[in-house]
Amino acid sequence: QVQLVESGGGLVQAGGSLRLSCAASGSILSINVMGWYRQASGKQRELVATISSDGSTYHADSVKGRFAISRDNAKNTVGLQMNSLKPEDTAVYYCAARRFGSLGFGFWGQGTQVTVSS
């Protein structure tokens, strides 16, 4: 079992920055990929970024060049640095984890609200 807890959300003005953090606990050695999703009100959940155990990363086109995912293995955390924030980035952001051999992300945090004002 893996537990994920997000933190760092809040209210920020357009053009500002925010850093999210996700703390993982439990059977963390079984995790292959960690990622960040977001879901805006009335919209479908959207993949934002992922980072694999080998350090490779993926960023959605909508955030590429503005957001950066990272991991700290010593602290068992994954971060999401968000720069040049736009109102359309407003959403609940979720941390997720995928086990080795799993087809999808099976573990989720509770979510943290990010609101970007214009």
Kindly give the confidence (pLDDT) of every residue in the chain, 118 residues in length, as a single tens digit, with 9 standing for 90 and above: 899 999 999 999 999 999 999 999 998 888 999 999 999 999 999 999 999 999 999 999 999 999 999 999 888 999 999 999 999 999 999 999 999 888 899 999 999 999 999 9
State the pLDDT at residue 28: 87
State the pLDDT at residue 59: 98
The rounded distance, in Å, linking the Cα atoms of 43 and 22 is: 23
State the pLDDT at residue 91: 98
> Would you give the distance in Å from CA 3 to the centre of its chain?
14
State the pLDDT at residue 103: 87
Length of the chain: 118
The rounded distance, in Å, linking the Cα atoms of 95 and 25 is: 13
User: Containing H/E element for 57?
Assistant: strand 57-59
State the pLDDT at residue 74: 85
